[in-house]
Chains A and B, each alone.
Chain A
C-alpha cells in the first residue's frame, strides 16, 4: 500500500504540471485585468501601458508562466519604461511556495488572500456536507426500507422537487421567508446576509446563527439528490443473498442494516463524497454570493471576473491538488470498506 501511495503521488506531479499549464493559458486568455482598473471609466492608455510593463503583463504567455512557476528573481524588469531592464524581479514562484501577489488587490499575497477566506468556507461547507450525508442516509435508508409506502412516495416527491429547484431560488425564498417576513410578522427571524453581525462580533453564536440559512439551502438541494442515490443502493443491497443470510441467522434488523447493508451500500457514496472534498475547499459560489458569506466561492468569482490570474491560479491549483489527493484517500477508504480490493 505504501508503495502504491508513493507511486500515486509521483504520478500526480506531471499531472499537476499539465493542469497548471492548461489553466494558466486559459486564464490569460479570459480577459484583461487592466481593462477594468479604471473603475467606472475606461483605464487611461498611458496607465495601461505602464501597468502592463510593471506587472509583467506585456510579456509573452510562456514567460509569464515561467515567472509564475519558478519566479522572476533571476530576471530584470523595465519599471520606468526607458527600454532598459534595470529592476530585479522579486517573485520566487510557485515551486518555492510563492503564488505571487494579486493584480487587483495589489501587493497582497495570494496565499494570504486565500488563507483569509479558506476557514470561512470550511466552517460553512464541512457542517453542510455532514448534514447532507446524515440527512440523505436517514432519508434514503428509511425510504428504501419502506419502499412504495406513503412515506417513500412523499419523500420521493419532495426529493424531486428539491433536486429540481435552483439553489438561488431556495436561497432567496428562504431569505425572504425566514429573514424578512418572519421579522415583519414579529417572529424570531434569521439574519439575511453575512457570516456574523459586525456590530456583535465574530462569536460562535453569531456564526452558527448566520449559517442556518446557507446550510439549509445547500442541504435541500444536495440531500435531495444523495438520498435518491442511497435509496437505490440500499434497495439493491438488501435484496442480496448475504443480507438474507444475516436475517436468517436471526440478527436484529438494526444490525443487518447498519453492519452489513449500509457498509456495502455506502461504497459508491464514498466515491461521491470523495469528489465533494475538493468542492469543500472551493466553496459554494451561489450560496456564498447570495448570503454574502466571505468564502472561497465568492473570492474565486470576484477575482475571475477581473481576470486576476495569480489569485485564480492559486485557488485552482489548490483545488487540483485537493482533487488528486482526495481521490487517493477515496481509493484507500475503498480498500478498507471492501476487503476484496487490493492495491499494489
Chain B
C-alpha cells in the first residue's frame, strides 16, 4: 500500500516536472528579432509630453518623440530638428534677446512620411496655450509673446522680455499637426485624443506600437527615421513596480535595463555582472531651511544653520547610506559645476562638531537645564522640525541626522509624509506650504542643464492669496533680485557672474544644505551594448544601442 502511494507521488511529481519543462520551452521560445526590455518602476500617465511631467514618462521621449535639440552624455546641447543652435553669433538670437529664430532641417519627417515643418511648432505652441487642453504645464511657453512661421522651415519665437533659460526648456516634444488638428477641431480639445496614449505617428528612432495597461509599452523601429535605422528592432518598457522585483528581473536576465534602484541593491547587481552607470541629471538631495516668520527661532538664526551644517557628517551619510556612490555638495548647482555657475570662492563646510558647539555657545544657545538640548536666553529649546517624504533613504537620513545633531545639543524632531500630502497647498494646511517644518528634505534641481530656478522668488511664498506658491523657505529681497536679474540676462558671462553671487550668497546664509549630489543610477545588462545616457535626454543615442548575445 505504502509502495503504491510512493509510486503515485513519484508519478505526479514527474508529470509536474515534465509539464513545467514543456511550459518553459513553450514560453521561452527564442525570437530572431533584437528585442530589448527595460524594467520601468512607474507606468507613464500619458505619452503626450504635455500631459505628464512624470520622470519615467519624460525619460522615454527620445524613443518616440523629437526635441528641437537634444543633449549628449555631457549634457551639452546639439541640434536635432534644427540646422544649428540659435545664438547671437549666428543671428539666431537677437541682440536684445527678444527674438529667437529656429531654422529647421529640410529632411525631417514624421514616422508616416509627412514632413515636420514650422506649422507643427506653431500648432504645438497653440495647443499648449489653449485652456481647453488643460495641459500639465504651460511653462515655458507662457513666456512667449507669439510664435511666427514665415515659411515651412523657419520658426520665430517672440518674447516680451529676454528669457535666458530657453535652451533647456523649449520644444521638448513637437505635436503632429496633421494628426491632432482634425481632432482638436472636431472635439474642441486634445484631452481625449487617442494619440495621447497611442502616438502611432511619432518622430523618434522608434514608433509606438502597443500599450498593454499595467504590463508594457512596445515600440518598434521607425522605418522613416531621417537619421537612419536603429540597431535594436523592438523596445519594451515593462512595468515592474516593486524595487526588489526589478532587481530580480535584471539579475535573472528578464530585463536589459532599469533605473532608480534602491541603492542597497546596487552591490548585489554589480556582483551579478550588471553594469551600473551613474548619470548626472542635475539633482541634489537637499535640506532646505524655512526662515519665514513662523519658523522656529533656531531655523531663523544663521548661526544655528551654520552649526547644523558643521554638526552634520555628510561624508558618513554618503559612505554609509549611499554606499559611497556619490559625493557631498555645497550648493544646489553643484551638478552644474562644469558649466562654471558655482562660485569658485565658496569654502566647503567641514564636519566640525566642536566648532558647531562653540558657535552655538557664542550665539547664546546654551544647555541651561542640563537635558542635553540647548536653549536660548528665554529658555526656548533649540528644536528644529524636519519633514520629508516617505522615501526610505530620507527616513534613514533623518534618523542618522537626529543622532548627529543631538551630539551638539540640537533637538531634531522628524516626520515624513506621502508626497501628495507633503507638497500639498497652503489652503490644505500642508507642512511645507504652511511652514510647520523648519527643515525640508527632498531631491531637486534647477532647470537642468540651465541653472534657473524660481523657488526663492518673494512672490512665490505661499499664503492665502497664493496658496500654491512654492517658496516654502522665505523672502530674501537680495536673493529675489539676483534670481530675477539672471532670468533676463542674455549675456552668458554676465549671467554666470550672477550665479556666482547667488551660490556664494546662499552658501554664506546657509539657506540650504546639499547632502549629496543625487545622480540617476542606470542598471544595464551586459548584453545591451553601446549604451550612453544623457542626464537631460537619456536615450539620445538609443538608435546606436545594440544587443550582443
Contact = CB atoms under 8 A, between A and B. Distances in A.
**B213, B420, B455 — which one has the most chain A CB atoms within 10 A of its CB?**
B420
Nearest to A191: B254
A108 B420 contact: no
B131 A198 contact: no
B304 to A, nearest CB: 25
A192 B192 contact: no
A200 B139 CA distance: 41
A39 B213 contact: no
Nearest to A208: B23
Chain A interface size band reads: 35 or more
B70 interface: no
A276 interface: no
A97 interface: no
Contacts of A191: 27, 254
B242 A31 contact: no
B51 A107 contact: yes
28 contacts: A32-B430, A35-B425, A39-B55, A40-B443, A50-B134, A54-B131, A79-B134, A106-B51, A107-B191, A107-B192, A107-B196, A108-B197, A183-B252, A188-B17, A188-B23, A188-B24, A189-B24, A192-B252, A193-B238, A193-B249, A195-B214, A199-B234, A205-B23, A206-B27, A209-B27, A290-B242, A295-B214, A305-B420
Interface string A78-117: 0111000001000000000000010011111000010011
A109 to B, nearest CB: 8
Contacts of B212: 198, 202, 294
B264 interface: no
A46 to B, nearest CB: 7
Given A40-B283, A48-B468, A106 B46 contact: yes
Contact of A45 (B138, B420, B466): B466
Given A46-B142, A198-B215, A205-B26, A289 B254 contact: no
Interface stretch (B29-37, B158-166, B339-347): B29-37
A254 to B, nearest CB: 17
Nearest to B189: A107
A292 B239 contact: yes
Contact of B215 (A43, A106, A196): A196
Given A31-B420, A32-B430, A205-B23, 20 more contacts: A33-B420, A36-B419, A37-B137, A42-B455, A43-B53, A43-B137, A43-B470, A44-B137, A44-B470, A45-B460, A106-B136, A107-B196, A117-B214, A176-B248, A188-B24, A191-B27, A192-B249, A290-B245, A294-B215, A299-B214
B227 interface: no
B45 interface: yes
Interface string B230-263: 0000101011111011101101111000000000
**A43, A48, A106, A202 — which one has the most chain B CB atoms within 10 A of its CB?**
A106
B424 interface: yes
**A37, A49, A80, A87 — which one has the most chain B CB atoms within 10 A of its CB?**
A37
A302 interface: yes
A263 B57 CA distance: 54
Nearest to B138: A47
A188 B20 contact: yes
A41 interface: yes
Interface string A191-225: 11111111110100110110000000000000000
A180 interface: yes
A307 to B, nearest CB: 5
B64 interface: no
Interface in A35-81: 35-52, 54-55, 79-81
Nearest to A33: B420
A209 B462 CA distance: 53
Interface string A283-298: 0000001111111001
Contacts of B26: 205, 209
Interface of A is mostly: loop
A179 interface: yes
B445 A39 contact: no
A307 B27 contact: no
B225 interface: no
A43 B45 CA distance: 15
A321 interface: no
B84 interface: no
Contact of B54 (A39, A47, A55, A291): A39
A37 B244 contact: no
Contacts of B31: 199-200
A200 B27 contact: yes
A40 B142 CA distance: 21
A120 interface: yes
A293 B46 CA distance: 20
Contact of A291 (B20, B132, B192, B245): B245
A47 B136 contact: yes
Contacts of A197: 27-28
Given A39-B58, A116-B213, A292 B444 contact: no
A12 B195 CA distance: 41
